[in-house]
Structure 1
């Protein structure tokens, strides 16, 4: 494979090139022309140059690149031609990385990947995560830290792929967030023996929880405690919401709870019970809840029915109206029956002997679906 250059861009030059990318993509300067050798080398790899020109054309103007070396390293890991082409189309900046840096990344990622086939699959889906070579030391420290927590390799590799920013920053920052999370969990009565599983589920569901300020988690707990939630109830809430708990804000919760209480015309105690059944009241913005309340009322459903089965608010208005229509065609009047017929994830309905039966299919992902136990 053709070698085009022998030294990589410095960090400043790479950043400068990114700043100038729009100018290069639109109208190249008098002295700025595409590197023909680079373009030809990418053509030889069956890379769609049009995609690169459209989104990251500045890369094609660089004179110091490593096309053959990058392709060779990917090929040595087991990537075939089409995979290599897709990786370079998605993340052409990969050819700016020095081969020794890419080899170091490969060795680092292999420490948390079961085999090279899995690693190639990650690179194909998350090329930018793998080719983030400028924070190698931080990545290494963070891997060692999460391994010390006894998180399995699969979880760590998924975190590195889906939330690379958290592995690029100093390990101490992640350590502080994890400490805050575990202290909150244990402080609410969570089981020490179950903490590892809880933490793995939390990080898997929302890997960006590591990027949240630790104090935000404490503020959320304090707000809910001030609203009358007991320690046991708070544990139930954070166990149901897991990683999404960090996405909440005091202002957002205050607004949605006030709106929901106004619509439902319920007491503070009733509102807490409804929230425990349906944490979506904390998570969804007011406009979404307003649309769902409106859809339910328009279908003839009473607020008392919603209070009895608040998890119906987790369903979009379109899904609710579709299921109501289907139930109506089967002779079931949702206005006088239980809203449990609408609940769940993906269901089929049938009526036999005058009774409604639900056929449960493979469930879809539901971030606030109730769990089996308070700490599962």
Structure 2
């Protein structure tokens, strides 16, 4: 039967036959529903019910850490009560449990122990609950509590302020799981290194506390790594004073580098800027980032600057510009160009600094450019 001979009624019937049937869709939907129902059936109804009672969005927990809903032993009400006693309202409690669902599998005794630990450095319960709300995961990591307590006491004896220790607890919690003996040993190594490289005994404590405040993760380094890096820098001709400057400027991140990677970066820098060993050391002291970035990263950033019309000589005069990514350079150059300032014809110092520092300098330049050359209200000094 040809297409011309089909009637309208026959065409409709043919379309129905050729049209994909909804059976597969129904089967797929049924399959998904079956899987969801199966997962829901495995969840602890008791746990889900108690979370609902706390106004917790169960869907968020299913997306984040669904495994906690399968646990038989949970402590929803107990954990909620501990938070409530600290002054948390229902909204805060729900938010904490949604972002850190594993809190409900922590025993109340362990959580109370962690509460006492954090209270050692918190002024009051209001500050404590604020920290828990911002950083629930470190708080509900309840292992090694005795070791954590010993580390808190050690840091207090060392002279660190409680506000600094509380910051460590929330953002550098791994150092509290480090055995207190290891932390004590690393502090000793840092103090000894400072004194051996010409630091004064009077300034040793201040220097050490500042270094720890800037980078607490330095405690996770090993004495061997510290010795290797310091010996390598001495072998490269850096003076004791220069080594201390590098250590302070890099905030201790120096010990996270390997001598091999440092050597590679220094060799690239020396070849690129065609400088002597003495000049190379001065460049590195002025811009310690030259030690941190791999040669590939340095090359990429130098190439990006060259494409903007900046010369190697300019980069050598202001090496701090290599701390900025090509994207940041392009953004800052566009802003400065909008004021008519041509970077490639001047000094690169105006590109440097943190975002806050750059924006402040840019605002000053903008205000200066908009200021009239003649002030009509200023008094005129005219000879009579």
TM range (shorter): 0.7 to 0.9
Q: CA–CA distance in 1 between the matches of 2:217 and 2:316?
A: 32
Indicate whether 1:314 and 2:323 are aligned: yes
Counterpart check, 1:57 vs 2:66:
yes
Aligned equivalents of 1:237, 1:142: Cα separation in 2: 28
CA distance in 1, matches of 2:255, 2:68: 37
1:149 aligns with 2:122: no
Structure 2 equivalent of residue 177 of structure 1: 186
* Greater relative contact order (Cα < 8 A, sep 6+): 1
Q: Summarize the Cα distance change of 1:327–1:150 in structure 2 as closer, same or farther, 3 Å threshold.
A: closer
Cα distance change of structure 1 residues 354 and 94 upon mapping to structure 2, 3 Å threshold: closer
- 1:98 partnered with 2:113: no
Residues 121 and 166 in structure 2, CA contact (< 8 A), matched pair in contact too? yes
Q: Which residue of 2 aligns with 1:336?
A: 345
Partner SS, residue 151 of structure 1: coil
Match of 2:137 among 128, 134, 138: 128
Whether the 8 Å contact between 2:159 and 2:209 is mirrored in structure 1 is no
Q: Comparing 86-95 with 64-73, which one deviates more in the overlay?
A: 86-95
Structure 1 length-normalised TM: 0.81
Q: After TM superposition, give the deviation of residue 200 of structure 1 in Å.
A: 2.8
CA distance in 1, matches of 2:43, 2:368: 70
Q: Work out the CA distance in 2 between the residues paired with 1:79 and 1:353.
A: 52
In the superposition, relative to structure 1, how do residues 30 and 163 fare at CA in structure 2: closer, same or farther (>3 Å)? closer
Contact 1:151 1:196 in 2 (8 A): no
Separation in 2, partners of 1:126, 1:49: 20
Cα drift, residue 88 of structure 1: 1.2
Query: 2:77 aligned to 68, 91, 96, which one?
Result: 68
Distance of 1:159 and 1:201 partners within structure 2: 13
Do structure 1's residue 292 and structure 2's residue 315 form an aligned pair? no
1:275 aligns to 2:279 (yes or no): no
Aligned position for 2:313 = 304
Structure 2 regions of 5+ residues with no counterpart?
A: 1-34, 372-384
What is the aligned partner in structure 2 of residue 221 from structure 1? 230
Question: What is residue 379 of structure 2 aligned with on the other side?
Answer: none
Q: What's the counterpart of residue 372 of structure 1?
A: none
Cα separation, partners in 2 of 1:62 and 1:272, compared to 1, 3 Å: same
Gaps of 5+ in 1: 1-25, 356-376
Once residues 28 and 270 of structure 1 are traced to their aligned partners in structure 2, the CA distance between those partners, rounded to angstroms, is: 70
Secondary structure of 2:78's counterpart equals helix
- Aligned 8 A contact 1:155 1:200 in 2: no
Q: 2:272 aligns with which of 259, 263, 274?
A: 263
CA positional deviation for 1:28: 9.8
The one of 139, 151, 159 aligned to 2:148:
139
Note the alpha carbon deviations across 1:50-86, whole angstroms, 9 max, x for none: 2221221111111111111101001111112222112
Provide the alpha-carbon RMSD of the alignment. Answer: 2.4
Displacement of 1:210 after TM fit?
1.7
2:12 is aligned to none
Residue in 1 that maps onto 2:87: 78
Higher helix share: 2
